[in-house]
Chain A
């Protein structure tokens, strides 16, 4: 399934790029992110908890940056699984930063996500809605941190 979205941050593109590639800051913005660890400058490990109604899924993810063009583009691959559990997730992600009309930076993201195993049984349509809601929450968190820092 394809997850996409965009949001505008009131900060210059160079600064948004620096922050969006900063794992420590991202850990505090990604909804459900319990831990993030830098393995090398191109590889991160993250633990994310996703809850949908009665279902709780804790994913161990590895994010590998494939291409980085400051300050406009990051291409990455995410792979992960649910502990010993039988759900496997993988996604190809692209992040594009562009100057927004009227100032600031527009952040656009597209991810092609596949989920198999027990969560795959649950219905991708509803999971897509959940992913979009998490994307909106991330945008709110990220904007909050960057804009608060700029104002102080």
Chain B
């Protein structure tokens, strides 16, 4: 293979221009995915646009509304260790903490992970449960897309040609709990199935958002599951019905980790377990 051209722009605008102008160009963030894909001859970019020199893409900033912006270049370890992501937003920290191993968590970034959009990865369902938005830049400017609309298909996002992820916006955390449960063959593997749940609790009751990973082309969610759990959070029958609704919405495939049928059967159990843990966390507050 030929050696790709290498660019290291200093601003989002310059990066967007390079991506638009350069045929076959791809963004490099942490390299945890792209470099592995290049080593396996699965990706062969003609040019690489490194995002490492763009200061605004690094780190987690609190916003005026109490929410947060996580820059695309923020490493998984930084997200996992940020205590400000509390209450309902703890779901994202819990997911970040379970990605792969310490080497990958110190290297991989949130922008790189969600830009690749492997449906068995940990961030996609967690971002849906956290009701996050993804910021996308192109040569004409920037736009924001709800996480639930950002993931479109297997390894396919709402990013069009010449677009890239610049950050993730989180709403202000609400008091409550956020959990991510992952079923994997061994610690650090991609999920056979995973469940991300955020539970906001106030005087009016409980409000739940739940999403399943590893069981379809993108994070699986169901309005019925959110509604059932929000109405009767303590109820085992409601949790079972929510699990069935999510299993029905899933579209799993057979792969090296598990069969599609196994995944359909395991979703309701993983949902019930996650709900029970979230309930215990709410009661312990």
A→B interface (CB under 8 Å): 52-55, 85-86, 118, 121-126, 128-130
Q: How far is the CA of A122 from the CA of B154 in the complex (A)?
A: 12
B189 to chain A, nearest CB (A): 14
Contact: A55 with B42, CB < 8 Å? yes
Closest-by-CB residue of B relative to A121 is B40
Give the dominant DSSP class at B's interface: loop
Q: With an 8 A cutoff between CB atoms, is B266 at the interface?
A: no
Kindly identify which residue among A54, A86, A123 contacts B116, using a CB–CB cutoff of 8 Å: A54
- Residues from chain A with Cβ under 8 Å of B37 in the complex: 54
What 1/0 mask marks residues of chain B from 135 to 175 whose CB sits below 8 Å from any chain A CB? 00000000000000000011110000000000000000000
Q: With an 8 A cutoff between CB atoms, is B199 at the interface?
A: no
Q: How far is the CA of A124 from the CA of B254 in the complex (A)?
A: 8
Q: With an 8 A cutoff between CB atoms, is B43 at the interface?
A: yes
- Residues from chain B with Cβ under 8 Å of A121 in the complex: 40, 42
Q: With an 8 A cutoff between CB atoms, is B256 at the interface?
A: yes
**In the complex with contacts A53-B156, A54-B116, A129-B217, A122-B255 CB distance below 8 A:** no
- Residues from chain A with Cβ under 8 Å of B154 in the complex: 52-53, 126, 129-130
- How extensive is the interface on chain B, given as a class? 10 to 19
**In the complex with contacts A118-B40, A121-B40, A121-B42, A54-B253 CB distance below 8 A:** no
Contact: B40 with A126, CB < 8 Å? no
Contact: A53 with B254, CB < 8 Å? no
Q: With an 8 A cutoff between CB atoms, is B204 at the interface?
A: no
What 1/0 mask marks residues of chain B from 32 to 59 whose CB sits below 8 Å from any chain A CB? 0000010011110000000000000000
- Residues from chain B with Cβ under 8 Å of A122 in the complex: 42
Contact: B40 with A54, CB < 8 Å? no
Kindly identify which residue among A54, A123, A125, A126 contacts B26, using a CB–CB cutoff of 8 Å: A54
Q: How far is the CA of A9 from the CA of B267 in the complex (A)?
A: 38
Q: How far is the CA of A140 from the CA of B269 in the complex (A)?
A: 39
Give the one of A52, A53, A55, A123 with max B CB within 10 A: A53
Q: With an 8 A cutoff between CB atoms, is B78 at the interface?
A: no
Q: How far is the CA of A86 from the CA of B42 in the complex (A)?
A: 11
**In the complex with contacts A54-B26, A54-B155, A125-B254 CB distance below 8 A:** yes
What 1/0 mask marks residues of chain B from 86 to 130 whose CB sits below 8 Å from any chain A CB? 000000000000000000000000000000110000000000000
A32 to chain B, nearest CB (A): 15
- Residues from chain A with Cβ under 8 Å of B251 in the complex: 129
Closest-by-CB residue of A relative to B40 is A121
Q: Compute the total of residue contacts between A and B using a CB distance below 8 Å.
A: 43
Contact: A53 with B255, CB < 8 Å? no
Q: With an 8 A cutoff between CB atoms, is B20 at the interface?
A: no
Q: With an 8 A cutoff between CB atoms, is B260 at the interface?
A: yes
Q: How far is the CA of A81 from the CA of B239 in the complex (A)?
A: 49
Q: How far is the CA of A54 from the CA of B154 in the complex (A)?
A: 10
**In the complex with contacts A54-B37, A54-B116, A55-B43, A125-B255 CB distance below 8 A:** yes
**In the complex with contacts A86-B41, A129-B217, A53-B155 CB distance below 8 A:** yes
A53 to chain B, nearest CB (A): 2
Q: How far is the CA of A122 from the CA of B42 in the complex (A)?
A: 8
- Residues from chain B with Cβ under 8 Å of A118 in the complex: 40-42
Closest-by-CB residue of B relative to A126 is B154
Closest-by-CB residue of B relative to A123 is B255
- Residues from chain A with Cβ under 8 Å of B42 in the complex: 54-55, 118, 121-122
Give the one of A85, A86, A123 with max B CB within 10 A: A123
- Residues from chain B with Cβ under 8 Å of A126 in the complex: 154, 253, 255
- Residues from chain A with Cβ under 8 Å of B256 in the complex: 123
Q: How far is the CA of A131 from the CA of B72 in the complex (A)?
A: 33
Kindly identify which residue among A52, A86, A124, A128 contacts B155, using a CB–CB cutoff of 8 Å: A52
- Residues from chain B with Cβ under 8 Å of A128 in the complex: 253
Q: How far is the CA of A146 from the CA of B116 in the complex (A)?
A: 39
B195 to chain A, nearest CB (A): 20
Closest-by-CB residue of A relative to B117 is A53
Kindly identify which residue among B41, B217, B255 contacts A85, using a CB–CB cutoff of 8 Å: B41
